[in-house]
Structure 1
Amino acid sequence: MKLVKNTLSAGLRFALLMAFTGVVFTGCTKKDSKQKVWIYTSLYKDTISDIQPKLEAQFPEINFQFYQAGSEEVAAKVQAEALAGSIQADILVSSDRFWYEDMAQQGKLLAYQPQNSEKVADFFKHPEHLYTTLSFPVMVIAYNSEAVSEAEAPKSFKELADTKWKDKVSSGSPLASGTNFTTVAFLADKYGWDYFSALRKNNFISEGGNSGVVRRLQSKERPVGVVLLENILRLKTSDPRIKFLIPSDGAVIQSNVLAIVKKPQDEARTEVVKKVTDWLFSSEGQQAMARSFMYPSVAGEKAPEGAPEFAEILKAAKPWSREFISTTMKDREEIKNKFSKIVF
């Protein structure tokens, strides 16, 4: 079994260095005279490449800056900046909902109801409007059809613990990826820790993020993977060998959350940031999420190309609840530690 470093602590060390030394990955251009809006996000780079020019066209007076990294690294950078005395980010978009709950409790988020947020289901919003889900990544099972036939492919998450799948399955690490942490939390709640002990006996690999799972699928190192649907839909043309299925025991619905960072009173700046947030929840912003193969959070928007309708996903998926969120927040480090002891 490969060992995985705790990337949160590594990310925190790196982010602390950046926060205290003022390192910024931007060049000096004529845009520097414009008002900057910083968006820290775990959205993939192609999603940023899609939305950035549209935002710049909609808001020509704004110089948009993006910090892109995994959810855990985004959290580490924000935490480091908070320790340094000032959070640079204006808008946060990432997939670790539990971290946003913590940020809300610390009073670091601004209460705001974006346009169309009334069309987002209540259990995907903070009750005091401190964050709203922007899109839904969905964790599914994928397989390389050259190594595993459709008939043979595992039909549920539970089935992955069967000995027939020894040396064949991988996922990302909950220490490195917010979506993988959420998946572990849901599966531990559903099946208990014996499930992960059975996975470990099968030489289950849990390493890196979702892109690592895709690489192992393509190379057949691990021809079955627990991975985000969006990663597989991106391969429809370039690598049609990689297929997906919706687990019979329910896909794990992720919550790609958007929040506005609460800053010292600056009404003009706050209004600008709110307008940018509104755009992301507009039909144009929501369809940008769909083009990146995530489900839009606003009801009535089209599903990603090649994906089942979201209503189908909801049928078997375990629902989010305030109780689950509270329990997972309380047990967050214990969940990571238990997983590490069992799987690593």
Structure 2
Amino acid sequence: MRVQLFTTIVAAFALLAPGTVAKSGEETKSIDELYAAAVAEGGKFVMHHGGDTPTKQNNLQQAFSERFPEINFTLIVDYSKYHDVLIDNQLETKTLVPDLVALQTLQNFPRWASAGNLLKYKPTNFSKIHESLRDSDGAWMAYKLFTFGYIYNSSALDGLAAPTSPTDLANPQWAGKIASSYSNDDDAVFFLYTRYTKAYGWDWVAKMAAQNISFNRGTNVAGSLAKSGEKVVGVGTSGSSSPIKFVGGNGTEYLSWGQRVGILSKAKHPAATKLFVVCRP
């Protein structure tokens, strides 16, 4: 089921953040006023978004376009590690294309902010977002939360006990039944495997290497193979719709982060990007 159109994440973040009084410097214009300003500006903007496939954020693009039909929203989805170096090159060569960027390579945002490449902008209710999920000056904020661990297909266990810890995955009974994203290709998956290695040791890594794991590019593939029943377990992905079970928390290592979004200070269409950030899905 698609998330209700442009329901903000502020309510969720507010549960984590102290106080409810908005701080100075936050946007005070209404959505209608921001929309009018975006249309007057030219009615368009370009966003670069991290993702495994070009269609990964189609729902996002459709939702925004349905809500704001007078805005031409160009959304380009590719791996975050491709977007960031492209943006660096465009900044250096003064050929910047995107107005707005949302990536999982979180380290880029403080770097861009310190270089003055991100616009300091605090949308409505910015102060309600937990401090760990926003830049104090408004240069960036998390607008979605993601988590990676491993999943298993509860309908494909074929009599095997469900794996309750990554240590279980090293059992030979799971050989040939595991799919995974390449740990050296996706930075978030690499970090997840790093946490697993620190928690369970190199002996665990050696045993996993003997499991005939189906490694594939993209976190979506491991999930799809598990969901289809072709594999039982998917590592470096997420999901919770039946019959898929996500394993993380309760003492089991997993990874969670806030996908950051920021407006480029040299954006050609700042009014439209502000509208997007205020109405963040």
- TM-score, scaled to structure 1: 0.58
| Offset at residue 134 of structure 1 (A) | 0.8
| Offset at residue 181 of structure 1 (A) | 3.3
**Secondary structure, aligned partner of 1:140:** strand
Selected match of 2:98 from 89, 92, 95: 89
User: CA–CA distance in 2 between the matches of 1:252 and 1:150?
Assistant: 29
Match of 1:245 in 2: 247
Please give the root-mean-square deviation of Cα atoms over the aligned residues, in Å: 3.3
Match of 1:214 in 2: 223
Which structure's relative contact order is higher, taking Cα pairs within 8 Å and 6+ residues apart?
2
User: CA–CA distance in 1 between the matches of 2:123 and 2:201?
Assistant: 37
The aligned runs of 1:290-309 (5 Å cut-off) are: none
Match of 2:61 in 1: 52
The aligned runs of 1:19-168 (5 Å cut-off) are: 34-42=42-50, 48-148=57-157, 152-168=161-177
Aligned residues: 240
| Cα deviations by residue, 1:159-197 (Å, 9 ceiling, x for unpaired) | 333444333323212443343234234434545555434
The answer (yes or no) to whether the contact 1:157–1:247 under 8 Å persists in 2 is no
User: CA–CA distance in 2 between the matches of 1:100 and 1:185?
Assistant: 22
Match of 1:225 in 2: 234
Distance 1:254 1:226, change over 3 A: farther
The answer (yes or no) to whether the contact 2:175–2:213 under 8 Å persists in 1 is yes
Percent identity at matched positions? Answer: 20
Distance 1:144 1:61, change over 3 A: closer
The answer (yes or no) to whether the contact 2:100–2:263 under 8 Å persists in 1 is yes
Provide structure 1 residue ranges, at least 5 long, that are not aligned to the other structure: 1-30, 286-344
User: CA–CA distance in 1 between the matches of 2:190 and 2:177?
Assistant: 21
The answer (yes or no) to whether the contact 1:155–1:247 under 8 Å persists in 2 is no
Distance 1:262 1:173, change over 3 A: farther
**Secondary structure, aligned partner of 1:109:** coil
State the one-letter code of the partner of 2:106: R
Provide structure 2 residue ranges, at least 5 long, that are not aligned to the other structure: 1-38
User: CA–CA distance in 2 between the matches of 1:60 and 1:197?
Assistant: 54
Distance 1:278 1:209, change over 3 A: same
The answer (yes or no) to whether the contact 1:109–1:261 under 8 Å persists in 2 is yes
Match of 2:264 in 1: 261
| Offset at residue 90 of structure 1 (A) | 1.0
More helix by share: 1
Match of 1:338 in 2: none
Match of 2:12 in 1: none
The answer (yes or no) to whether the contact 2:122–2:137 under 8 Å persists in 1 is no
The answer (yes or no) to whether the contact 1:141–1:247 under 8 Å persists in 2 is no
